[in-house]
Amino acid sequence: MSDPIDPNVDPYGYLGITPNTDGSITRSQIPSRPFATSTTDHDSLIFTKDVVINPAKDSWARIIIPREVLSSENKLPLVVYFHGGGFVMAITIDTPILQNFCATLVAEIPAIVVSVDYRYAPENRLPAAYDDCVESLYWIKNTLDELLRKYADFSKCFLLGTSSGGNIAYHVGLRVAGVGEYLKPLEIKGLILYHSLFGGNERTKSELRLARDKMLPLNASDIMWELGLPIGSDRDHPYCNPMVEIRSNENLFDQVKIQGWRILMIDCDGDPMIDRQIEVLKMLKKKGVQVVGCFSEGGFHGREYFDGMKLKELALVIKEFVRV
């Protein structure tokens, strides 16, 4: 087994890409994706099913259900999950650590999770990922899939995202907050932003303190934004730096408040993003948004992916938020 790539030494290798002189990239690996509805069984406690969202975009999702609910009449909360990867890395919902992450949440909450795949940058720069994930919500709204119709409580839906997926959950939430009538019977109740990937031109203290972090150093996150943002944009683009739009648009969260959404922000002080999470949380509170922060000491960006005990603790935090 080869040694893991140090992102401080080879950030492009760490991201699984090679830059080309024309500005394009070559991927070291392109993951396979199921392209037809299939039913699989990865764990005795869960039942999974893969579904195509949009064949033209090669976008798909995985429905993950606690096996025990299949023999009951109960409906469970619906969690729509957007995975991380900095918009750039060739990570799919079929990646083993993501499968374990979702399976744990499904079993511990319990809930039904729809884990959504989306297109990568720079082949498809932002807002392509936002577009794909909004489309997934309309697919859920319109689906005739028996598993979701029978076992998911569409009136209790939450958007959950990790890292760049947290960024997606935030921006997708803002997009759809004002069109709730068009999404019914799907009713979003809140956002869960876990180690969300945000940025900005001016470095925060935590970014400088953890500039050579082994999980998310500045050189790697800078490349992600360079490849992910619309061409010609810098890190103060609203897709990257939410504070720009929060400060400039007094009415940004009006619909979020009207809908009564709650927001849970989760991070740790070992994550370079922590200062940005705290800044956004404080501003959301100032704007009158129902927001809760769950910030812990130590850790690192995405720690719960790699620590089973911490993942169960995270699942319990999410469980308490969802059940209110």
Q: Which residues are catalytic?
A: 163, 271, 301
CA–CA distances in Å: residue 278 to residues 85, 202, 293: 22, 16, 8
Which sign does the torsion angle of CA 218, 224, 225, 227 carry? Answer: positive
Pairing of strands 46-54, 59-66: antiparallel
Cβ contact 186:154 at 8 Å: yes
Q: Which residues contact 308 (CB under 8 A, 6 or more apart)?
A: 104
Pairing of strands 46-54, 38-43: antiparallel
Token look-up 């936002």 returns: 130
What φ, ψ does residue 171 adopt, rounded to 5°?
-75, -35
Name the maximum alpha-carbon separation found in the chain.
58
Which pair of tokens denotes residue 9? Answer: 């030494």
Which two tokens mark 283? 């501003």
Q: Which helix (H) or strand (E) holds 193?
A: strand 188-194
Q: Residue 136: what residue type?
A: S
Q: Where are the alpha helices (DSSP H) in 109-241?
A: 128-142, 146-151, 164-176, 180-183, 205-209, 218-228
Q: Is the dihedral of CA 200, 321, 191, 150 positive or negative?
A: positive
Nearest to 105 by CA among 260, 266, 261, 277: 266
